[in-house]
């Protein structure tokens, strides 16, 4: 191959944050968020999407995922390079780094997070509750939610700076109120998502070269090699200080 063609394969929640800074000519595919409910199904679907992209002669596949309940472990790069952020899940991507996520967890381990993307794909506590009401009735649904949230004290809304934040902020406040969680808002950052798209792909990323398989240890150790080249021959867009 060697033609420099790149494709993004991303979760529906992550693509919401990628699109505003993504080059208009970059190919991408969005996978259903519901696949997270069964990590084995997500792994299978991801491998299918990777294999198709390789067959279409893409050189580099960027995954808009993290470790995600081990769903990316075992993915094979085949004939293309796979790049994935070295994070446990997408919350670190929305906060800007693994360190930012760790800091929030230390502050309050029992935290439920919401962003525009999660609200858009109907994956919130309120959506879970409403589905349980339909399936089990209101009384049982209330018991289920109490059990689910017994170790949670805080709901954090991550302001990622995308459009219509006031609507999503209000929605998050209502979810927190409904389930007696302390509401907090934190400013997100697109720094990690930006570097996922444009590089450098340093120790914050797992880079699987053609023929390699992504391993669990890749997410728990520093990279043995780094790829500090941007994925495009063109320069990434100049960032304003207010954008960072």
Each residue's pLDDT tens digit, 91-130: 999 999 999 999 999 999 899 999 988 898 877 899 889 9
Cα(102)–Cα(115) distance, integer angstroms: 18
Cα(237)–Cα(240) distance, integer angstroms: 9
Extract the tokens encoding 187. Answer: 């400013």
- Please check the confidence at residue 237 and state whether its pLDDT lies above 50: yes
- Please check the confidence at residue 223 and state whether its pLDDT lies above 50: no
Cα(44)–Cα(71) distance, integer angstroms: 9
What pLDDT is recorded for position 243? 52
CB 134, CB 144: distance < 8 Å: no
What pLDDT is recorded for position 122? 76
- pTM (2 d.p.): 0.84
């Amino acid at each position: 191959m060697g033609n420099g063609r790149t494709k993004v394969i991303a979760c529906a929640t992550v693509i919401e944050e990628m699109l505003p800074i993504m080059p208009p000519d970059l190919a991408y595919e969005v996978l259903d968020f519901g696949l997270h409910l069964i990590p084995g199904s997500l792994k299978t679907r991801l491998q299918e999407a990777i294999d198709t992209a390789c067959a279409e002669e893409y050189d580099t596949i960027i995954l808009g995922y993290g470790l995600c309940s081990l769903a990316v472990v075992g993915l094979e790069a085949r004939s293309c390079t796979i790049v994935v952020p070295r994070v446990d899940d997408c919350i670190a991507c929305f906060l800007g780094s693994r360190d930012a996520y760790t800091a929030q967890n230390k502050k309050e381990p029992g935290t439920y997070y919401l962003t525009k993307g999660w609200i858009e794909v109907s994956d919130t506590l309120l959506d879970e509750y409403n589905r349980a009401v339909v399936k089990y009735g209101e009384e049982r649904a209330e018991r289920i939610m109490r059990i689910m949230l017994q170790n949670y004290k805080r709901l954090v809304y991550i302001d990622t700076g995308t459009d219509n934040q006031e609507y999503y902020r209000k929605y998050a406040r209502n979810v927190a109120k409904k389930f007696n969680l302390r509401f907090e808002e934190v400013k997100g950052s697109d720094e990690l998502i930006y570097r996922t798209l444009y590089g450098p792909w340093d120790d914050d990323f797992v880079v699987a070269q053609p023929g390699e398989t992504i391993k669990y240890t890749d997410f728990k150790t520093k990279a043995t090699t780094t790829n500090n080249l941007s994925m495009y021959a063109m320069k990434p867009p100049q960032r304003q200080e207010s954008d960072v």
